Structure formats: C-alpha cells, structure tokens
Amino acid sequence: MSDQLRLGVIGGTGAEGRGLALRFAIAGAAVTLGSREPARAREAAAHLRRQHPQAHIEGASHEDAIAQNDIVILAIPFVHAGPWVEAHGRALAAGALVVDVTVPVVFEGGRPRFVEPAEGSAAEHLRARLPEHVALACAFKTLPARMLQNADVALDCDEFVCGDSPASRQRLAALVERLPGLRPVDAGPLEAARILERMTLLAIMLNKRYKSHDARFRVLGV
Amino acid sequence: MSDQLRLGVIGGTGAEGRGLALRFAIAGAAVTLGSREPARAREAAAHLRRQHPQAHIEGASHEDAIAQNDIVILAIPFVHAGPWVEAHGRALAAGALVVDVTVPVVFEGGRPRFVEPAEGSAAEHLRARLPEHVALACAFKTLPARMLQNADVALDCDEFVCGDSPASRQRLAALVERLPGLRPVDAGPLEAARILERMTLLAIMLNKRYKSHDARFRVLGV
C-alpha cells in the first residue's frame, strides 16, 4: 500500500473539508482528518465511513495529520487559516504541499462580501506566513461545498489551480485529476487567486439569484 | 422597419467594437459606428459590409451615433471611456442605455495587469460619471475580441450581465440573447463588475498559457 495517496485534511469537520475528504477517499486515498479536537475528527471520520464503508478515513489531531501526510488540504475558514499556518507551518515536512481552499468572503447581514487581504488574496496571505520548505497551491476555491459532500453527484466542471511554482501546480493538478469529473485548469502563479477567490463570491451570488447550490465554472477554448 | 433594433457602437473601429457591430448587424440590428473621425468609421463600416453585404452598418461621428440610437455600446479602451462619458454623457437621450464592455487591464512589458479604479471597477467608474437620466449595464467583458470578429465561429458560452438596475440588466440580457450561442447570466448589480473585469484578466492569462485566443466561460448549475 506504499503507493496509496495519503492526504491530511485540516478542518475536515466542516462542509468543504468533509466533502473533499469523502471524495478523495472514494477515489482511493487514505485520508486523515485533522482537528483541534481529535475526538470530533474521529467522530466525523466514523460518520463518513458509515456513508461509504470502503472509504479509508481516520480522525486525528492537527499534529498527527501533519506528521502522517505530505499533502495537507487546509479547509478551515480563512480567518483561522493564517493563525493555523503560523502555529503549524514549521511542523510540516520539507517538500510538503499545503493545498489552500480558503476564500476571504464574509457574510454581513446575509450578504456576502470579499474582504481583500493586504497581500491581495488568501493564498498570498498564507504564502507569506508559511516557511520556505513548504509549497503552497490552491484549488477547490470555487467548488460548491454542498455539492462536494454529495459524493453521488458528478462535479463535471473545471477546477482552477494556481501555485507558488510550476511544480506545486503540477502536483495539485494531478491531485485534482483523481476526482472524477474535474479537469484542472492551470491559472498560473498565486496572484491568480485574487481572481479565483472573487469568483467564489460570484458563484455565491449566482446561487442566490438563481436559487441553486451548484453554480460552478467551465472554461471553453483551452 | 420601426421595430428594427438600432445600436450605436462607440469605438467601432477597434477589434471588440468591430466584432460586436458585425455580430449584431448579422443578427438583424441597424448599427451606427461612432468615431471621433467619422471618415474612419465610414471606412470601417464599408469594410464590414464588404464582408457581410446584408449587414446594416453605417459610420458616423460620436454625436450622430448618440443621436440616432438609444442603446450605445461603449467599446473604446478603458482609459478613454471616462473622458468619453464626461464629454458625451449629457447628449444621450433620457432612458438611453450605455453598454460598458471596457476592462481596466493594462499591459506592462507584455504582461497583463488589472489596475483597480478608485470606484472598484470600470463599470462603477463610468456610472459615477454618467448623468442620472442614462442607464448603465455591462456585458461582453470576458468575450475574446478576436473570436467576436470571426462571425462564422459560434460563441457558445455564457455572457455575464450586470447593471445599475434590474431593468437595465433585463434590457441588456435581451440584447445578449440576440447573438446566437450566447446565454446571458445575471450577475446582479454593477459591483459584480469587480469580479467580471478580473475574469477578463484570467481569460487573457489562460489564453497565453494554453496558446489559445478563445478562452471564455460557462457557468454550470444555474
């Protein structure tokens, strides 16, 4: 089993993290949900395994999820992501890849608003706080969390990938390709996250306007 | 012929304006290209008519293009759009609709960059300069100009529409639907242009990366 893909999912008790953990486990990965409260992570893992008995999902502490995996999906709300990276970044293995799925969108009176980080995007905000020995790339920012969680529904869309190096992007693109129905689209350097994170806001707005939960994107012509 | 759609296209001698003028004329509209140099506009119109003899396209001055039409597509570069609106906005008829297709993207050493207007977007920049009696809505911001010009190629994508009122958006959505292969997607108020204009930058970046000229978007789930 040494070739089995191993993934840590931080924030695996939230909607987006749970959905990604489930989809990757169904695709054959061994997934560790990392939480500040390992008991909650174990509970969430057990819940997902009941839904999909073949899924290889365990719950653990943040520290264990980091120690056991060299690809870590950071699926906690953006406001917690910077502090998480500052607290745990140095514990990540050399060459580890952090996959940032966060978006700096807040809801004020039910209305979503993009709150631009000083660095321009959540991705750049996190890169500025990660140690040099760790790589950062982004995907799954524009994918509806609710849709992710229903593993029977085909995603059937494009997934924009950006990252701090061509190698980071290639590594994440290969990961995206593991999920049926997703095509990775290479959006280039981390700066592209300034656009992609705003597209999440657009998807939220379109969902509201069209009474949908599934607004997502495809790029034609590439 | 009183029911024939009539459109003014300002900047109809540029790639985007020429493409829109041609596509709308083929779809049955009577189009007036407006230019600071009417002779150039007449020449461009004659050129388009040679390509498509059935197209109803004339060249004129800015003033005549405004006087003859109550829908005016503003297809000049963003840097000229603010001054144009300040010079000509008051001459537009009450209830006229200005269709903003501009994007505040500049090229520096061949590299495209989004230059955020103080108002947040080109659309809001122009709205702040237009008189109250004129409506403003946006579309065609993310559509590749080169593709527009080749009227034999199906556009086959979604076209985001935003505007200063639901009525403006509906009016522009109906216009978008005139072009075969385009589906209008209602992105809401003008503020949405902050996202849409950045998506143009994304399309430019994807074209470069994937050696294409046709990168464009579709929204699934709505």
Residue pLDDT, tens place only, B155-192? 999 999 999 999 999 999 999 999 999 999 999 999 99
Question: Which pLDDT value is given to residue B3?
Answer: 77
Give mean pLDDT, residues A176-192: 97
Partner-chain contact B206 A194, CB within 8 Å: no
The CA-atom distances, in angstroms, between A116 and each of A185, A199, A205, B198 are 24, 13, 17, 14
Partner-chain contact A221 B192, CB within 8 Å: no
> Looking at the predicted structure, is the pLDDT value of residue A1 above 70?
no
Tokens matching residue A3: 């070739």
Report the C-alpha gap between B95 and B43 in whole angstroms.
Answer: 30
**Nearest beta carbon to residue B188 from set A194, A209, A214:** A209
pLDDT tens column, B102-160: 999 999 998 999 999 999 999 999 999 999 999 999 999 999 888 898 888 989 999 99
Tokens matching residue A161: 């990938």
Give mean pLDDT, residues A81-110: 96
Partner-chain contact A221 B212, CB within 8 Å: yes
Chain B residues whose CB is inside 8 A of the A214 CB are: 220-222
Chain A residues whose CB is inside 8 A of the B156 CB are: 220
Report the C-alpha gap between B215 and B204 in whole angstroms.
Answer: 8
pLDDT band at B2 (very low <50, low <70, confident <90, very high): low
> Looking at the predicted structure, is the pLDDT value of residue A103 above 50?
yes
Tokens matching residue A205: 């707005």
Question: Which pLDDT value is given to residue B14?
Answer: 85
**Nearest beta carbon to residue B219 from set A114, A196, A206:** A206
Tokens matching residue A46: 């057990």
Residue with tokens 């008991």: A39
ipTM at complex level: 0.94
Report the C-alpha gap between B122 and A19 in whole angstroms.
Answer: 37
Q: For residue A70, how many C-alpha atoms fall within 13 Å in the half-sphere facing its CB?
A: 11
DSSP character at residue B91: G
pLDDT band at A220 (very low <50, low <70, confident <90, very high): very high
Tokens matching residue A142: 């524009």
Q: Is pLDDT larger for residue B83 or for residue B14?
A: B83
Selected for mutation to probe chain A from B116, B153, B170, B222 (highest A CB count within 10 Å) is B222
Q: What is the DSSP string of A48-89?
A: HHHH-TT-EEEEEEHHHHHHT-SEEEE-S-HHHHHHHHHHHG
Chain B residues whose CB is inside 8 A of the A205 CB are: 187-188, 192
Report the C-alpha gap between A92 and A84 in whole angstroms.
Answer: 12
Task: Tell me if residue B66 falls in helix, strand or coil.
Answer: helix
Question: Which pLDDT value is given to residue B1?
Answer: 45
Q: What percent of chain B has pLDDT over 90?
A: 90
B211 min Cα distance to partner chain A (Å):
8
Question: Which pLDDT value is given to residue A14?
Answer: 85
Q: Are strands A216-220 and B6-10 parallel, antiparallel or unpaired?
A: unpaired
**Segment holding B212, helix H or strand E:** none
Q: What are phi and psi of B205, to 5 degrees?
A: -65, -40
Give mean pLDDT, residues A135-155: 92
B135 min Cα distance to partner chain A (Å):
21
pLDDT tens column, B91-103: 999 999 999 999 9
* Residue spans of alpha helices (H) in chain A: 15-26, 38-51, 62-67, 78-88, 122-127, 145-149, 166-177, 193-210
Question: Which pLDDT value is given to residue A2?
Answer: 55
Pick from A11-15, A34-38, B212-216: least confident: A11-15
Report the C-alpha gap between A207 and A126 in whole angstroms.
Answer: 28
Question: Which pLDDT value is given to residue B96?
Answer: 97
